[in-house]
Every structure is written in C-alpha cells, then in structure tokens.
Amino acid sequence: MNARYSRTAMGLHWLMAVLVIGLIGWGLWMSDLPKGPERGWAIGIHKSFGMLALMLVFVRLGWRLGHRPPPNRALTAIETRLANAAHHLLYVLLVVVPGMGLTSVNFTKYPLKFFAIEVPKAGWPDEALNTLFSTTHKFLAWTLIALIVLHVAAAIRHTIRRDGTMQRMLPGKH
C-alpha cells in the first residue's frame, strides 16, 4: 500500500482545488458580462478570491518545503518524473497566474480591494501595462486549465488502474 499524504496536505490540496476551480469558473462567467456595476462587482470578487488563492498557495508551498510528499510505489520511473514535472508546473502556475492578475490590477485606475478593504497599489494607471499583464494572466489561466485537466485525467487513470494513487490524497482512515 502506498503511503498517504497528511491530513494537512490533503486539506490544503482540496481547498486549493475548490478555490482555483471556482476562480476559473467565475473568471469565465464574468468575462461575458457587459461593462457596468455587475461586472465591476464580479471582478472585485474575482480579485479578492485570487489574492486569497495566492496567499494560500504560499502557505501550501511553505508546508510542502517542510513536508516532502510520500513516495508513490505504484509509479514507474518515467511516471514519477512526469508527475513531478506536472506538479512543479502546477505550483508555478498557481503563483504566476494570480500574480499576473494582481500585477495587471496595479496598472488600472480602479482601486485594489481585498474583500472591501483597500490595498495600496504599486503601479499607476497605464493601459498598455494593464493589457500586457491581463493578457498574460488570461493565457496562463488557460494553460493552468489544460494542466488541471491533465491532472484530473491522471487521477482517473489511477482510479481505473486501482493502483492506490488516488487514495493517497483522499480523506479517510490513515
């Protein structure tokens, strides 16, 4: 039997999963809204939860630095390398995607608020920089979506193989 992740690692994983999938869904929904108060409100919610996701990923990275993942004996050497590469890329994107969104906001005329609390901005109104960082945010968000789909597909594959990999990250008896 494969060693399982700790309850803390599982909790952080599933909390991030719900938050990120929610942010993606919300981002896709709000992008079709016409300019106006509803869109402004939706963007404000997206920014607040995006900042929360960025904070949480740093908590998760801090946890991960002190707690190495348990080895997965069900994987071949190449599967281990691919899984490690995919997980590293997920972490990079979980930092860079909200980072680009946050950077974009710093170059708008609108205030930056974290759940109605105004946060000082490091930038100034600059449409070209806002567009650059906003476009990068969107492109990398689609990259993150593709990697999440790959991650879920791998989880389904492990479930079909019944190799114990999925149980490592699911709550239950330890």
Q: Please name each of the domains of the chain with its CATH number.
A: 7-169 (1.20.950.20)
The residue among 114, 84, 86, 94 whose CA lies nearest residue 20 is 94
CA angle at residue 111 from 105 to 112, to 5 degrees?
55
CA angle at residue 103 from 99 to 109, to 5 degrees?
145
Mean pLDDT of the chain: 94
Measured CA to CA, the distance from residue 83 to residue 127 in angstroms comes to 39
**pLDDT surpassing 80 at residue 173:** no
Please say whether the dihedral angle defined by the alpha carbons of residues 22, 23, 25 and 29, taken in this order, is positive or negative.
positive
**pLDDT surpassing 60 at residue 24:** yes
Mean pLDDT within 100-110 = 96
Give CA torsion, residues 116, 125, 19, 11, to 10 deg: -90
| Residue 152: both structure tokens together | 């879920």
Mean pLDDT within 122-144 = 97
**pLDDT surpassing 60 at residue 18:** yes
Whether 101 and 47 have beta carbons less than 8 Å apart is answered as: yes
